Amino acid sequence: MIQTPFLSRQRTPPFLTPAETPLYHCDSPRPQASLMIKADLARIVYNRHGGISQREAVRIVDLIFDSIKSQLLAGENVKLSGFGTLVVVNRKGRVGRNPQTGDRLYLEPSRYVTFRPSRTSGLEVVRTDDKS
Q: How many whole angstroms separate alpha carbon 119 and alpha carbon 25?
A: 27
Residue 18 has pLDDT above 80, yes or no: no
The three-state secondary structure class of 80 is strand
Class of domain 75-121 (CATH, top level): few secondary structures
Residue spans of the domains in the chain: they are: 1-74, 75-121
pLDDT band at 46 (very low <50, low <70, confident <90, very high): very high
* pTM for the whole structure: 0.62
Q: How many whole angstroms separate alpha carbon 76 and alpha carbon 69?
A: 10
What does DSSP say about strands 110-117 and 84-91: parallel, antiparallel, or unpaired?
antiparallel
Given this model, what pLDDT does residue 69 score? Answer: 96
Residues 6+ apart with CB under 8 A from 47: 4, 11, 12, 25, 26
